[in-house]
């Protein structure tokens, strides 16, 4: 059950309240790098951060150096990508919910461009340009998953990114979940990520459901992050099983998604976030309960 969004007055110059959700699976060194980048490059005004520790590890000292409120969720047992981010959603009040992988690095603040994209009410989810550590473009903006596209990828018939990304915004079918910024009211209306998926396809499913509800996905190339992609499904058999299982679930729903793809916006007005109509989602409006977690509050 979700709390009803309420509009709250705030100065026109103030950015919307952004909650960053990061999940660590024993990724202490990666988390420290990400937190250092956020501290160095991001504007701390209106930021909040939720770090979910899926495995037992100490909290990074870098949390104490951030100039905005943070919380740590320590799971009593490991949970999936969807369940962890759904639980983090209810920790703070927010207008924008930002899902970030622990292996993301930031050489600049990506939020201004993403918030400007989300200022358009037609946009429910915004993502940055994603590059690898060498500066090459990652295939984070993708077309709808189909068995044929997968076979063409595996056979080598299809290479390179699905979309040409230059200076103009791109409106893909879906974006990979290493970095997503969503309107909180959109995330709540969709009931968050579908927890029936296991580690794969949660991002594609969310984007397709968002579009079926009348909003669009945008890649804003003025925002950029660095990602060291880890293809676990190529290295571990149980990850491969999860990947195949999630793909089969997605294909079951594919006929439902088919008409959505033709409705993707070709252009949308990008306005200043100061003029946007933001809705605050209260804290404790999480998608799922946190019975398997121990919430640690930083005073």
What residue numbers bound the domain in which 203 lies? 18-297
Neighbours of 17 (CB within 10 A): 21
Residue 3: inside a domain: no
Q: What is the pTM of this model?
A: 0.82
**Distance, CA of 71 to CA of 265 (rounded, Å):** 36
Which range, of 117-126, 155-164, 248-257, averages the lowest pLDDT? 248-257
Query: Are the CB atoms for 82 and 73 separated by under 8 Å?
Result: no
> How large is the average pLDDT for residues 189-218?
89
**Distance, CA of 140 to CA of 157 (rounded, Å):** 19
Phi, psi dihedrals of residue 61, rounded to the nearest 5° = -65, -25
At 138, which CATH number? 3.90.550.10
- DSSP-derived pairing of the beta strands 18-24 and 47-53: parallel
Residue 191: inside a domain: yes
User: What's the structural domain count of the chain?
Assistant: 1
Bridge partner residues of 175 (DSSP): 141
> How large is the average pLDDT for residues 115-124?
94
Query: Are the CB atoms for 192 and 281 separated by under 8 Å?
Result: no
> How large is the average pLDDT for residues 182-198?
92
> How large is the average pLDDT for residues 100-124?
95
- DSSP-derived pairing of the beta strands 18-24 and 96-100: parallel
pLDDT digits (tens, 9 = 90+) for 60-87: 999 999 999 999 999 999 999 999 999 9
pLDDT over 50 at 2, yes or no: no
pLDDT over 50 at 116, yes or no: yes
Give the chain's mean pLDDT: 81
Phi, psi dihedrals of residue 28, rounded to the nearest 5° = -55, -45
Residue 182: inside a domain: yes
pLDDT band at 158 (very low <50, low <70, confident <90, very high): low
Q: What is the DSSP letter of 133?
A: T
Query: Cα–Cα distances in Å, from 235 out to 54, 96, 296?
Result: 21, 34, 34
Q: Which two tokens stand for residue 16?
A: 């919307």
What pLDDT, on a 0 to 100 scale, did the predictor assign at position 144?
Answer: 80
What lies within 8 Å, CB to CB, of 42 at 6+ separation is 106, 109, 111
Residue 244: inside a domain: yes
Three-state DSSP at 182 gives: strand
Residue 9: inside a domain: no
pLDDT band at 238 (very low <50, low <70, confident <90, very high): low
- DSSP-derived pairing of the beta strands 293-297 and 70-75: antiparallel
Which range, of 14-23, 95-104, 222-231, averages the lowest pLDDT? 222-231
pLDDT over 90 at 239, yes or no: no
> How large is the average pLDDT for residues 19-45?
95
**Distance, CA of 164 to CA of 161 (rounded, Å):** 7
- DSSP-derived pairing of the beta strands 96-100 and 179-183: antiparallel
Residue 215: inside a domain: yes
> How large is the average pLDDT for residues 154-165?
75
**Distance, CA of 42 to CA of 104 (rounded, Å):** 14
Query: Are the CB atoms for 161 and 137 separated by under 8 Å?
Result: yes
Residue 112: inside a domain: yes
pLDDT digits (tens, 9 = 90+) for 249-298: 666 765 555 555 544 444 445 556 666 777 788 776 556 544 455 554 44
Residue 10: inside a domain: no
Select from 224, 210, 234, 124 the least CA-distant residue to 165: 224
């Amino acid at each position: 059950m979700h709390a009803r969004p309420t509009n709250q007055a705030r100065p026109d110059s103030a950015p919307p309240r952004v909650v960053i959700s990061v999940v660590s699976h024993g990724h202490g060194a990666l988390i420290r790098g990400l937190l250092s980048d956020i501290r160095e490059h991001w504007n701390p005004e209106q930021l909040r951060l939720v770090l979910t520790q899926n495995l037992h590890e100490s909290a990074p000292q870098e949390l104490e150096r951030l100039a905005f409120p943070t919380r740590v969720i320590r799971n009593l047992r490991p949970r999936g990508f969807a369940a962890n981010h759904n639980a983090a959603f209810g920790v703070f009040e927010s207008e924008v919910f930002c899902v970030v992988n622990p292996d993301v690095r930031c050489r600049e603040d990506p939020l201004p461009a993403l918030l400007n994209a989300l200022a358009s009410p037609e946009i429910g989810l915004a993502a940055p340009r994603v590059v690898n550590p060498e500066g090459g473009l990652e295939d984070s903006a993708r077309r709808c998953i189909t068995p044929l596209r997968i076979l063409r990828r595996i056979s080598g018939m299809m290479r390179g990114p699905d979309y040409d990304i230059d200076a103009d915004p791109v409106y893909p079918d879906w974006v990979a979940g290493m970095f997503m910024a969503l309107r909180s009211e959109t995330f709540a209306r969709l009931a968050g990520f579908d927890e029936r998926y296991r580690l794969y396809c949660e991002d594609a499913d969310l984007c397709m459901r968002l579009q079926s509800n009348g909003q669009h996905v945008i890649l804003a190339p003025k925002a950029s992050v660095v990602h060291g992609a880890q293809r676990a499904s190529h290295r571990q058999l149980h990850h491969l099983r999860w990947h195949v299982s999630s793909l089969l679930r997605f294909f079951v729903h594919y006929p439902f998604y088919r008409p959505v793809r033709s409705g993707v916006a070709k252009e949308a007005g990008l306005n200043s976030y100061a003029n946007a109509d933001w809705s605050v989602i209260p804290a404790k409006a999480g998608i799922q309960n946190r019975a398997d977690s121990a919430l640690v509050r930083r005073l």
